[in-house]
């Protein structure tokens, strides 16, 4: 064949099997973009077999050979009330190590308060806080038992108004080599006070571990919708489900945010939203009360509603009640109606009992990688002093 003639030949046909194989291995963002090239490629996102293969490729990329990666379970039981933290490891999470809570939470037995993990574990550090008022929070490395108490906010506390502090995210700022916490402060008047009383304006503030202080930031973004387990940290960004039923993503390094609209047309049908990380992507577990079903969607591009891809859909199993977190290998943790915790393997469809109980609304799991690097230390005298000051500010 004439080489010049061959160079002019247009190849317009690509075998479907070849396309199928290539597209199933693409990143989420690229898959959504390339699906617009042809109608047949768009329909692949509705093809059950294709999505199954795509999911397996996605999950296989998240399988880690690192023995230091495990799961932290925050077990909350209401009767009798207690919060217990466990380190879970093993193929079926058969290894359970009970963790001693750090100060000041280990001395607050007289206060019945739920303890929560904010966002995700970051470089072996987690941020835990008092869920009642968000004014007591610490950074804690369970591997070294180090703890850093986060100092009081810049918020004002006066008798003329109610001060509400809401933690939104914890993560690592790689540009400044710093750990940060972001929270929102707002004020409400007491009904019995005169309407002309002036109250301060709401504001956002960021805490810097390196500088050990808070500073206000000039930004206007939606606050979080207080749905349990609806906050996440991933790759330098804090994410939470906003009150406008959209995903809010805050970049800690650039201090800018993105809003990604919900993929659901009927937001009122979605009873529960749970943010998780799947192989470096933001994903969402949602529960539809109309269809009585769960679905898992993954986000390809921040700010683009159309980049959501539904990966998994299943009607509620008789034993499953609510999701509480995700593992490293496509495992999703759920609570059963009887309070038992189970792990649902997305690749096999098998449900395994964890062997522990947990409250439906409060229990949670986060992926954790041990890190022996020191983050600093603070003695118990200073811890108790800070806690005492923070409680006094609330009263």
The residue ranges of every structural domain in the chain are: 15-60, 61-394
User: For position 384, what pLDDT does the model report?
Assistant: 47
Which residues make Cβ contacts (< 8 Å) with residue 135, sequence separation at least 6?
152, 153, 165, 390, 393, 394
Element (H, E) at 388: helix 380-394
pLDDT at 191 over 70: no
pLDDT at 193 over 60: no
Residue 150: name the closest of 182, 124, 108, 187 by CA.
Answer: 182
User: For position 316, what pLDDT does the model report?
Assistant: 63
Lowest mean pLDDT among 7-16, 87-96, 191-200, 290-299: 7-16
pLDDT at 97 over 90: yes
Q: CATH number of the domain at 61-394, please?
A: 2.120.10.80
User: Global pTM?
Assistant: 0.81
- CA-to-CA distance for 312 and 346, rounded, in angstroms? 8
User: For position 15, what pLDDT does the model report?
Assistant: 65
Lowest mean pLDDT among 84-93, 100-109, 157-166, 373-382: 373-382
CB 68, CB 370: distance < 8 Å: yes
> For the packed helices 16-23 and 48-62, what is the interaxial angle rounded to 10 degrees?
40
Which pLDDT tens digit goes with each residue over 145-183? Answer: 899 999 999 999 888 888 999 999 999 999 999 999 999
pLDDT at 367 over 70: yes
pLDDT at 376 over 70: no
pLDDT at 112 over 80: no
């Amino acid at each position: 064949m004439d080489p010049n003639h061959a160079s002019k030949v247009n190849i317009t046909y690509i075998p479907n099997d070849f396309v199928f194989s290539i597209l199933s291995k693409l990143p989420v963002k690229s898959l959504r973009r390339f699906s617009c090239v042809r109608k047949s490629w768009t329909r692949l996102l509705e093809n059950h077999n294709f999505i199954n293969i795509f999911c397996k490729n996605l999950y296989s990329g998240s399988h880690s050979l690192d023995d230091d990666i495990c799961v932290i379970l925050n077990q909350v039981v209401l009767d009798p009330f207690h919060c217990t933290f466990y380190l879970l490891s093993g193929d079926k999470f058969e290894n359970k190590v009970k963790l001693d809570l750090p100060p000041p939470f280990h001395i607050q037995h007289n206060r019945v308060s739920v303890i929560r993990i904010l966002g995700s574990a970051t470089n072996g550090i987690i941020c835990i806080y008092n869920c009642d008022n968000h004014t007591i929070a610490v950074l804690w490395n369970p591997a070294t038992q180090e703890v850093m108490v986060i100092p009081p906010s810049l918020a004002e506390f006066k008798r003329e108004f109610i001060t509400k502090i809401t933690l939104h995210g914890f993560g690592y700022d790689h540009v400044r080599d710093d750990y940060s916490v972001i929270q929102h402060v707002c004020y409400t008047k007491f009904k019995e006070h005169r309407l002309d009383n002036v109250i301060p304006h709401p504001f956002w503030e960021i805490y810097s571990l390196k500088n050990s202080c808070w500073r206000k930031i000039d930004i206007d973004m939606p606050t979080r919708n207080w749905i349990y387990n609806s906050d996440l940290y991933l790759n330098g960004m804090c994410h939470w489900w906003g009150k406008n039923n959209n995903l809010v993503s805050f970049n800690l390094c650039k201090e800018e945010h993105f809003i990604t609209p919900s993929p659901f047309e009927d937001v009122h049908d979605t009873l529960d939203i749970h943010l998780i990380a799947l192989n470096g992507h933001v994903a969402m577990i949602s529960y539809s009360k109309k269809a009585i079903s769960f679905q898992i969607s993954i986000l390809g591009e921040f700010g683009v509603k159309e980049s959501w891809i539904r990966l998994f859909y299943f009607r509620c199993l008789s034993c499953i009640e609510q999701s509480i977190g995700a593992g490293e290998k496509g495992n999703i943790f759920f609570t059963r109606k009887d309070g038992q915790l189970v792990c649902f393997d997305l690749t096999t469809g098998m449900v395994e009992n964890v062997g522990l109980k947990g409250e439906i609304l409060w229990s949670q799991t986060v992926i954790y990688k041990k890190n022996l690097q020191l983050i600093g230390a603070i003695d118990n005298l200073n811890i108790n002093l800070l806690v005492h000051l923070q409680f006094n500010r609330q009263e």
